[in-house]
Structure 1
Amino acid sequence: MTTRDTSAAQTLERFYAAEAAYVEAGGPGAASFDEIAACLAPDVTLHQAPGLPYSGTWQGPEGIERFLAVMGEAWQTMEFLDQRCFVDGQEVVVTNHVRFVARATGHELDTRIVQEMTVRDGRIAEIRPFYWDPAAVTAALTLPA
């Protein structure tokens, strides 16, 4: 991860590692959400774009936990192959090269995601992901193996 602000980078590194482990373990009941929650502001908001199988606005740590439960149902693994972090005060842009494996179909998806984030007082306050190819996400999750 490349950055000018190590505190924001450390928060994001902890978040991404905890998120990947949580999704891979299957989410609620199979993994602890505590490590993820420690990275989130109480008023955190995640905005997932229309057209994704998990679109919508997810609010508070509880909303993020519900979102990650949906992600855990969708994806068996989520591997971050490359991440770059660009910080300007509280605003952060993260570029991600990610490899997902769909839980139901076994399809592998190698894709890019750019996230606009706000990190306030060492916690993530807002997340806006932009997927390179939302149609490929849906296809990987729904097309027969």
Structure 2
Amino acid sequence: MTVMSVSVLEGMYAAEAEYFATGDFEPLRSYFAADFVLRQAEGLPFGGVWRGHDGLRRFFAEMSRTWAVFELGEQAFLSTTSPLVVLTNVRARARATGRELEFPILQAITVADGRITEVRPFYWDTAAIAAACST
């Protein structure tokens, strides 16, 4: 994992935290390639394939509708080559039910030319996440 790739991911995670605090998408834009692809598990309330900056903006809006709280905790960078692999512990509270969850996400993240081009998150238990978000 190059210093530049680590720097891109650390900056993106900081911008993501800022988004959840303020709702401002613009700080996130510069970390993602224009043809970016996010592949979320279909069983999640925010599942599906999200493409480009517009898709990413819609994804984050959907995450905000789903979660009242979505905090990234301890992170471990597990890979030194592309795709980068990051294990993140998440603490979240579902907006619809008020249920609180703690769960790990393992993300495979491709970075090229200083921009994130693809993210594939893997959740430990998508059914538990979907159930916590459903009324």
Q: Look up the match of 1:100.
A: 92
Output aligned runs, 1:21-60, within 5 Å.
21-25=18-22, 31-60=23-52
Q: How much does 1:50 deviate? A: 1.8
Q: Look up the match of 2:82.
A: 90
Q: Aligned match of 1:127 in 119, 126, 131? A: 119
Higher mean C-alpha displacement, 48-57 vs 14-23: 14-23
Q: Which consecutive segments of 4 or more residues in structure 1 shift more than 6 A?
A: none
Q: Look up the match of 1:74.
A: 66
Q: Look up the match of 1:28.
A: none
Identity of aligned residues (%): 43
User: How many correspondences in the alignment?
Assistant: 135
Root-mean-square deviation (CA, aligned residues, Å) is 1.4
SS in 1 for 2:50: strand
For the 8 Å contact 1:91–1:117, the answer to whether it is kept is: yes
Distance 1:139 1:16 in 2: 26
Q: How much does 1:70 deviate? A: 0.3
Whether 2:54 is the aligned partner of 1:19: answer no
Change (3 A) 1:73 1:24: farther
Distance 1:77 1:8 in 2: 27
Q: How much does 1:24 deviate? A: 4.0
For the 8 Å contact 1:83–1:95, the answer to whether it is kept is: yes
SS in 2 for 1:51: coil
Q: How much does 1:23 deviate? A: 2.8
Q: How much does 1:108 deviate? A: 0.8
Structure 1: any 5+ residue segments left out of the alignment?
A: 26-30
For the 8 Å contact 1:23–1:71, the answer to whether it is kept is: no
